[in-house]
A and B are shown apart, each in its own frame.
Chain A
Amino acid sequence: MSNVLYQMPKGMEGYAQILEGAVKTLKPYLGEAAKVGDIKLVNTFPVSYGANQIIEGEKKILCALLEKNGGLLFAAGNFAGENFRAIDEEDALDAAGELLNYISGSYAADLSMNGTQCELLPPDYGNVDVSYKPKQLCSAEIRSGEKKVDFLIGVLS
C-alpha cells in the first residue's frame, strides 16, 4: 500500500486509503488542486444529493459522494462531458455514481493486492438511505478552490 497522508479520526485510521483514492479519482474532474479539508466523525448522514455504494468484504462499508457548493455537479459534468444543470438530474447522479464506482474499485484493488477480496454492489443515487445505521461514520471534505464535495465512509458491520 502507498503511504497515506490523512489524519483520520479515531477508529477510522484503516480507511485513509479509500480517501486517498477518492482524491486521486476526483482530481481530473474537480481540479488538479483537489485536496482534503476537514475530516470528522459525524452521527448522521447529511441531507444532500449524490451517490452511495456498499463495499462488502471483511467489513461492510458504505461510501458516499455528496454535493456541496456545486462541486459534485461540476465534477460529474466534467467526467461525463456534459453540461448538467442540477445535481438531482438523473444523468448527473449517474455520472456521480460512476465516479464513486471508480473510487470503490481503486480501494478494492488495493485490498486485493494485500490478499483481501471484496465485492462492490451497484452504486445507488439520490440521498443516502438513512436506514443504514453505521457503527462509525466519517465525513471528509474534498475541495479544489470553491468547489467542494463531501466524501462519507461508514462502517456498517
Chain B
Amino acid sequence: MAGILIVDDSKTSRKVLRELLEDNGYTIVGEALNGEEAFKMYKELRPDLVTMDITMPKMDGIESLSLIRHEDENAKVIMITAAGQREKMVEALKRGAEDFLTKPFDSDRVLETIKEVLDSQ
C-alpha cells in the first residue's frame, strides 16, 4: 500500500489523519511538523504522497510544496487547510499541488481524493 507523509503542525490533526489512513490500509511513513521538516523528510523517505497543511509556523506549506516539486517534479502533494482560504488554495494549485482538502475533514472526501491522486499518472 502507498506510503504517505503527513505534514501538519497540529498533533491532533496529524493523529486524526493518521488513524483514518491507517484504518484504510495506507502506511504512514513519517510525520513532519512544518514545511522545512517536510522537505527534509521528503528527500529522505520519498513517499508516494504528501498531505501538506498550509498554515504552519517556520515554513508554510506552500513554500515547502515549491521546494518538494523543485526536488521532484513528479511529487504528489495534497494541500490541507481550514475552510475559507481560497486564495491560498489557488496559489498551491498553481505551484503544482495535485488537489486540496479542507478541515474539518470529511473522511469520505479525504479517502476519495487520496485514491484519485495516487491512481493518477
Contacts and interface: CB of A to CB of B under 8 A. Distances in A.
Interface stretch (B24-32, B64-72, B84-92, B112-120): B84-92
A31 interface: no
A94 B8 CA distance: 12
A107 interface: yes
Interface of A: 79-81, 91, 94-95, 97-98, 101-102, 104-112, 117-123
A21 B83 CA distance: 12
B84 A121 contact: no
Given A91-B12, A97-B10, A98-B12, A112 B102 contact: no
Contacts of B86: 112, 117
Contacts of A121: 55
Interface string B4-16: 0000011111010
Interface in B33-88: 55-57, 81-88
Interface centre among B9, B84, B85 (most CB of A within 10 A): B84
B87 A117 contact: yes
B84 A98 contact: no
A48 B77 CA distance: 38
A102 B85 CA distance: 12
Nearest to B54: A120
Nearest to A117: B87
Interface residues of B, number: 20
Where chain A touches its partner, the secondary structure class is: helix
A109 B103 CA distance: 11
Contacts of B9: 122
12 contacts: A97-B10, A98-B12, A101-B10, A101-B103, A102-B82, A105-B84, A117-B87, A119-B85, A119-B87, A119-B88, A120-B85, A122-B55
Contact of A106 (B10, B12, B15, B83): B83
Contacts of B103: 98, 101-102, 105
Contact of B85 (A81, A94, A105): A105
A117 B83 CA distance: 11
Interface centre among B10, B82, B88, B102 (most CB of A within 10 A): B82
A108 B88 contact: no
B83 A98 contact: no
